């Protein structure tokens, strides 16, 4: 049976009392953060009445907040059954990677001609951080540095619409960072691929950098397509065991 949202039960989480102004926006921001931080994991049921009591607001703002979360792909609203935190299937995760590839290839093509010494230094710092984390086996920190590398290219593209679409997509994918690292495999190879992308960008070769970015993002796609759902779950469980050792 899917878990129900219990945002008020964790003693380490302070549930804010929402003020009468912009209630739905505040409820949306709070629930979004709970979902993205995985404190409300995929499959968690979100009952309007329970959330209304927990957050101290009426059901109207909660309903509006859930509607916005559904539009962002974070929640599935089921008629007469309430909402549930959306869970990406393997097929949906693959589709998300395919869209991510298209967005990041475009971002690289737009960003490379705009890169100056300061921007290249930022990317170099992130790449070095990634390499350091990979060498010491700090996988969580590696993932953060890896994400920052990709987000930096999107930011430096200068295309606000691209950035908006990318942020929404990554919000859906980020909760599955363990799955992404399982599919990625060898962290050393990942670092080498990032260095090659940065080298092409430093040389001003936007097309080569974009091609290398596409090849890089296709690695987890290929592995995902080759694995059964059960094999993926088993690999994720094994990964969690190593991380928690």
Residues of the chain with pLDDT > 70: what percent? 85
Residue range 23-85 in CATH 1.10.10.10: yes
DSSP 185: -
Residue 15 banded pLDDT, cuts 50, 70, 90: very low
pLDDT at 75: 87
Judge whether 82 and 52 are in contact, CB under 8 Å: no
pLDDT at 87: 80
Please write the tens of the pLDDT for every residue from 172-219: 888 777 777 778 778 899 999 999 999 999 999 999 999 999 999 998
Please write the tens of the pLDDT for every residue from 42-88: 889 998 888 888 888 888 888 898 998 888 888 888 887 888 888 87
CA distance 224 to 182: 10
Residue 33 banded pLDDT, cuts 50, 70, 90: confident
Please write the tens of the pLDDT for every residue from 128-172: 999 999 999 888 899 899 999 999 999 999 999 999 999 989 988
Q: In terms of DSSP H, where are the helices of the chain? A: 23-36, 48-55, 59-71, 90-111, 117-136, 139-156, 160-174, 177-184, 187-202, 206-226, 229-243
Judge whether 154 and 173 are in contact, CB under 8 Å: no
CA distance 62 to 10: 20
pLDDT at 56: 86
Q: What is the average pLDDT across 220-245?
A: 68
Q: Is the pLDDT of residue 121 over 50?
A: yes
Q: Is the pLDDT of residue 31 over 70?
A: yes
Q: Which value, in Å, is the radius of gyration of the alpha carbons in the chain?
A: 20
pLDDT at 11: 38
Domain boundaries in the chain?
Answer: 23-85, 90-243
CA distance 176 to 27: 23
Please write the tens of the pLDDT for every residue from 80-109: 788 888 887 888 888 999 999 999 999 999
pLDDT at 213: 98
pLDDT at 105: 98
pLDDT at 183: 80
pTM of the model: 0.74
pLDDT at 78: 85
pLDDT at 148: 96
DSSP 85: E
CATH no. of 90-243: 1.20.120.530
């Amino acid at each position: 049976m899917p878990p129900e949202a219990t945002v008020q039960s964790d003693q380490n989480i302070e549930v804010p009392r929402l003020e009468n102004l912009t209630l739905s926006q505040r409820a949306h921001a709070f629930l979004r953060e709970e979902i993205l931080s995985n404190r409300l994991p995929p499959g968690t049921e979100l009952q309007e009445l329970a959330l209304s009591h927990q957050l101290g607001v009426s059901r109207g703002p909660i309903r509006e907040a859930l509607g916005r979360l559904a539009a962002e792909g974070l929640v599935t609203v089921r008629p007469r059954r309430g909402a549930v935190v959306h869970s990406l299937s393997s097929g949906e995760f693959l589709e998300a990677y395919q869209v991510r590839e298209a967005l990041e290839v475009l971002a690289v093509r737009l960003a490379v001609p705009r890169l100056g010494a300061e921007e290249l230094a930022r990317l170099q710092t992130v790449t070095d951080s990634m390499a350091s984390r990979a060498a010491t086996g700090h996988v969580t920190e590696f993932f953060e540095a890896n994400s920052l590398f990709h987000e930096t290219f999107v930011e430096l593209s200068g295309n606000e619409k691209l950035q908006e679409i990318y942020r929404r997509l990554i919000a859906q994918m980020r909760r599955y960072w363990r799955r992404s690292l399982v599919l990625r495999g060898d962290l050393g190879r990942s670092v080498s691929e990032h260095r090659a992308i940065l080298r092409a960008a430093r040389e001003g070769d936007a097309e080569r950098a974009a091609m290398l970015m596409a090849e890089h993002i296709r690695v987890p796609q290929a592995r995902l397509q080759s694995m059964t759902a059960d094999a993926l779950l088993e690999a994720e469980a094994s990964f969690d065991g190593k991380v928690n050792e």
